[in-house]
Structure 1
């Protein structure tokens, strides 16, 4: 059972995240009216704001910030599989990998 003090702490975190998401949403809408002169820069700014909003939602509402060690293991495993799948066709074409 959560104590009253612990519950207030969680409520304050959720309210801060809600406020940050609201501010970032307003910022996203405001940025859409600016002319940056480059579509690449506009996309980069939009994706950066979206990444920050996604991090806030995933980290706080999905409680991923509390599970750091399993997340690092999954990230490392993903990187290993990426490199295996990325380099395997090259090694195959160079005849460094053979099937008996």
Structure 2
């Protein structure tokens, strides 16, 4: 915590700097999506541009969590909880990808092939 006016001025300067970086990141994300010079991959908005946008968003979210939410001064338990949320999100994304690439072909599920007979029928 800031106890003196000098500490408060220092914190205000760092908050303004981080706010400027966040604004710059937002502008950069916009330019990546709309400017041909910053277009990576194929012409137009594609997977490479999407991944670059997610990278910029991840950096911005990390800055917000570390600086504005003061996670850079928290105890280890907070870091474990924070890390656990990323593991959970990655696990759910993996399960979703698994379901997409290895679908269930059963007559009781929507989108099943017509005339398909399951193993237990």
TM-score (norm 2): 0.57
46, 49, 63: which one aligns with 1:39: 46
The ranges of structure 1 where at least 4 consecutive aligned residues each deviate by more than 3 angstroms after the TM superposition are: none
Higher relative contact order (CA 8 A, sep 6+): 1
Q: How many residues align?
A: 82
Supply the distance in 2 between the matched residues of 1:50 and 1:6 (Cα, whole angstroms).
29
Q: Larger radius of gyration, structure 1 or 2?
A: 2
Structure 1, unmatched stretches of 5+, are: 86-100
Higher helix share: 1
The structural deviation recorded for 1:75 is 5.1
Structure 2, unmatched stretches of 5+, are: 92-121
Cα shift readout 1:40-90 (whole Å, capped 9, x = no counterpart):
2111101000001111111111111111522333356x39x86xx9xxxxx
Supply the distance in 2 between the matched residues of 1:70 and 1:61 (Cα, whole angstroms).
19
